[in-house]
């Protein structure tokens, strides 16, 4: 009969004694080394008021089973919505999907930030189809402002609207004028849409056939309306401007069925090359696509990245890209190209890091299991995302300028002087004295815990910046009272120094 534990025994001993009683009561004799079943352990835990010590797991299992581990953690924003997880740039499929999302040739599902322009073009086309009346419209704007993409969307919207209203949808002829072998070929294409099975007979040109067709009442009753979208219209500008002029004149004939939409970059093309149309009161309606602003570029980038189920770019990196591209040109294609380049820079950085790790391991350096486990389980989400330094490098490759190179090659204190000048002139002032600028410089040095230089050396560095063409120094007997003017754009200084945390914090 096993002994019953007295009150002076420890709970752990009491638990073992109770277990011995249980085994003896069942008639079994089991050695203490034998492994117990999980069911037995659970039953014992329920019967005993004292819990057994928890069996320690291996570090890998402990990390994987933790609800706060990266694999099991569910990120939520303050509103309770589930956030995207970070991506793995070592995954071939993921990086292919990211590059495709930011590729220039990938058409987005929706065209954002161009709703007003699209509505004006769509209303124009609706009126022409509804009234069965010819008309011409000229879409202009800088490259990469969404002109062609918007017209593709409007083209489909016109057809869908006509079907929904019970009207006859127009025939559509969309072409890029750079693909034409000859500028006059455009008239052959238009005639082919009207008379697909007929061949031109006689010596009359396709243009003359169209002019005759649109001059007879038979054309109005026998053919559909035709929507002609001519992209890169400025390619049709010849020495005598005849082709461009004749194309727009087709919409002025009494029985014309053409709705002509011309797309080009030149804002004043209609004024410079079609003066006769204006004199005939037939000047086309003009819709201008302005260059994208910083907020619009950021919105379009975020819209494109919504298709991805993971986070690829830091928000600050996207903002830097949008700010720089908007200041330079507002070209959305340039912004997409920069983002793609930043992804490739991250990809190359990770490849180099992996090769360096392999080289270190080959040399026999000791890597602790904890370190290897941390790299495996926590794959450094911060390092796997396109950061602001990747974006700055991609931008510098795209918008490389001698000024940026000069600023980046300056010594640190001269860069601090430029930074202090940018900060000082943000208040609306155009110039200041060397003495006042020195005070701003000292404030930045103190905040960064960097010992400032003396006033004489500061004046000398200002002269160096003057020689570099970054400053303009006035004349004065005392260096402290010389007037200082910044000769370079603030955006160039901000861009050149964006990769250094000290300057990035100062310029924000």
- Is 502's pLDDT higher than 90? no
Q: Is residue 19 part of a domain?
A: no
**Sign (positive/negative) of CA torsion 107, 111, 112, 113?**
positive
CATH of the domain at 449: 1.10.10.10
Q: Are residues 300 and 264 in the same domain?
A: no
Rounded-to-integer distance, Cα 137 and Cα 145, Å: 17
Q: Say if residue 473's pLDDT is above 60.
A: yes
- The residue out of 286, 307, 330 marking a domain boundary is 286
Q: Is pLDDT above 50 for 445?
A: yes
In this structure, the number of other CB atoms found within 10 A of the CB of residue 121 comes to 23
Range from 47-61, 95-109, 134-148 carrying the lowest mean pLDDT: 47-61
Q: Is residue 65 part of a domain?
A: no
Regarding whether 209 and 145 lie in a shared domain, the answer is yes
Mean pLDDT, the chain, rounded, equals: 79
Confidence band, pLDDT 50/70/90 cuts, at residue 456: very high
Tell me: do 233 and 330 sit in the same domain.
no
Asked whether residue 127 falls in the same domain as residue 265, the answer is yes
Kindly state whether residues 186 and 309 are assigned to the same domain: no
Q: Would you state the pLDDT for residue 377?
A: 36
Label residue 201 by pLDDT band (50, 70, 90): low
pLDDT at res. 224: 86
CA 83 – CA 106 distance, rounded (Å): 25
d(CA 422, CA 418): 6
pLDDT (0 to 100) of residue 161: 96
| Mean pLDDT calculated for residue range 303-324 | 93
Shared domain for 138 and 186, answered yes or no, is: yes
Asked if pLDDT for residue 247 goes beyond 50, the answer is: yes
Domain with 320 in it: what CATH number? 1.10.8.60
Confirm whether 305 is domain-assigned: yes
pLDDT of residue 382: 58
Report the CATH number that the domain containing residue 122 is assigned in CATH. Answer: 3.40.50.300
pLDDT the model gives residue 425: 86
Share of the chain above pLDDT 90, in %: 45
At residue 5, does pLDDT exceed 70? no
Token pair recorded at residue 126: 């609706």
Q: Which of 239, 259, 286 is the last residue of a domain?
A: 286
pLDDT above 80 (res 350): yes
298 in Cβ contact with 319 (< 8 Å): yes
Rg of the chain over CA atoms, in angstroms?
37
Say if residue 114's pLDDT is above 60. yes
Same domain, 141 and 256: yes
Which pLDDT value is given to residue 61? 45
Q: Are 226 and 171 in contact (CB under 8 A)?
A: yes
Asked if the structure places residue 360 within a domain, the reply is no
Structural domain count of the chain:
3
Structure tokens at 442: 């000292």
Residue 243 has pLDDT above 70, yes or no: yes
* Whether 389 and 407 share a structural domain: no
Do 347 and 251 fall into the same domain? no
Decide: 497 and 504 in contact? Cβ < 8 Å: yes
3 state DSSP class of 199 = coil
Q: How far apart are the first and last CA of the chain?
A: 81
Residue 54 lies inside a defined structural domain of this protein: no
Q: Does 20 reside within a domain?
A: no
The residue ranking higher by pLDDT, 82 or 211, is: 211
Q: Are residues 268 and 319 in the same domain?
A: no
Mean of pLDDT values over 358-381:
45
pLDDT of residue 57: 47
Decide which of 286, 304, 335 is a domain's last residue.
286
- Arithmetic mean of pLDDT, 179-196: 88
Question: What is the rounded distance in angstroms from the CA atom of residue 22 to the CA atom of residue 16?
Answer: 10
Do 99 and 142 belong to one domain?
Answer: no
Return the axis-axis angle of helices 332-362 and 92-101, rounded to nearest 10°.
Answer: 160
Average of pLDDT values for 14-28? Answer: 46
Among 74-83, 235-244, 326-335, 462-471, which stretch is predicted with the lowest mean pLDDT? Answer: 74-83
Structural domain for 430, as ranges: 400-503
Q: If pLDDT is split at 50, 70 and 90, which confidence band does 356 have?
A: confident
Sign of the Cα pseudo-torsion (246, 248, 250, 253, in order) = negative
Spatial separation of the C-alpha atoms in residues 22 and 2, rounded to whole Å:
10
Name residues whose C-beta falls within 8 Å of residue 240's C-beta, 6 or more positions apart in sequence.
none
Give the pLDDT band (50/70/90) at residue 12.
very low
Instruction: For residue 358, tell me if it sits in a domain.
Output: no
Are 128 and 91 contained in the same domain? Answer: no
| Inter-residue contact 233 to 262 (CB < 8 Å) | yes
Residue 13 lies in a domain: no
Quickly state the pLDDT bin for 423 (edges 50, 70, 90): confident
Whole-angstrom Cα distance, residue 95 to residue 78? 29
d(CA 441, CA 447): 10
Q: Which of 289, 296, 291, 344 is nearest to 322 (CA)?
A: 296
């Amino acid at each position: 009969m096993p002994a019953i534990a007295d009150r002076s025994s420890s709970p752990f001993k009491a638990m073992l004694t109770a277990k011995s009683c249980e085994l003896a009561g069942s008639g079994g004799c089991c050695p203490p080394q034998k492994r117990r079943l999980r069911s037995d352990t659970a039953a014992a835990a329920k019967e005993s008021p004292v819990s057994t010590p928890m069996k320690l797991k291996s570090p890998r299992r402990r990390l994987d089973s933790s609800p706060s581990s990266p694999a099991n953690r569910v990120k939520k924003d303050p509103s309770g919505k589930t956030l995207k997880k970070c991506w793995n740039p070592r995954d071939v499929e993921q990086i292919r999907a990211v590059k495709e999302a930011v590729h220039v040739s990938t058409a987005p599902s929706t065209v954002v930030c161009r709703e007003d322009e699209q509505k004006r073009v769509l209303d124009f086309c609706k009126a022409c189809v509804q009234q069965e009346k010819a008309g011409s419209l000229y879409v202009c704007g800088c490259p990469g402002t969404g002109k062609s993409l918007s017209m593709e969307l409007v083209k489909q919207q016109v057809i869908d609207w006509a079907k929904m209203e019970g009207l006859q949808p127009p025939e559509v002829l969309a072409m890029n004028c750079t693909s034409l072998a000859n500028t006059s070929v455009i008239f052959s294409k238009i005639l082919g849409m009207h008379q697909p099975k007929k061949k031109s007979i006689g010596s009359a040109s396709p243009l003359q056939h169209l002019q005759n067709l649109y001059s007879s009442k038979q054309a109005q009753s026998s053919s559909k309306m035709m929507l002609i979208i001519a992209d890169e219209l400025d390619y049709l500008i010849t020495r005598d401007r005849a082709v461009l002029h004749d194309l727009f004149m087709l919409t002025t004939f009494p029985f014309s069925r053409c709705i002509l939409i011309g797309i080009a970059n030149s804002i004043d093309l209609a004024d410079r090359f079609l003066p006769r149309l204006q004199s005939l009161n037939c000047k086309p309606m003009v819709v201008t696509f302005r260059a994208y602003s910083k907020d619009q570029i950021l919105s379009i980038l975020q819209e494109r990245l919504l298709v991805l189920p993971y986070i690829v770019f830091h928000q600050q990196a996207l903002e830097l890209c949008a700010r720089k591209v908007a200041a330079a040109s507002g070209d959305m294609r340039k912004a997409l190209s920069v983002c793609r380049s930043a992804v490739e820079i991250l990809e190359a950085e990770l490849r180099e890091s992996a090769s360096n790790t392999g080289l270190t391991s080959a040399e026999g350096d000791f890597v602790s299991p904890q370190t290897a486990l941390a790299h495996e389980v926590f794959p450094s989400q911060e390092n796997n995302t396109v950061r602001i330094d990747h974006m700055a490098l991609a931008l510098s490759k795209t918008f490389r300028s001698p000024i940026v190179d000069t600023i980046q090659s300056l010594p640190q204190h001269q860069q601090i002087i430029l930074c202090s000048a940018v900060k000082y002139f943000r208040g609306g002032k155009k110039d200041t004295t060397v003495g006042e600028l020195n005070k701003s410089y000292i404030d930045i040095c103190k905040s960064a815990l960097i010992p400032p230089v003396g006033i004489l050396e500061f004046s000398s560095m200002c002269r160096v910046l003057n020689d570099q063409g970054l400053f303009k120094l006035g004349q004065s007997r005392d260096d402290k009272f010389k007037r200082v003017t910044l000769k370079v754009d603030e955006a160039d200084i901000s861009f050149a120094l964006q990769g250094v945390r000290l300057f990035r914090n100062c310029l924000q």
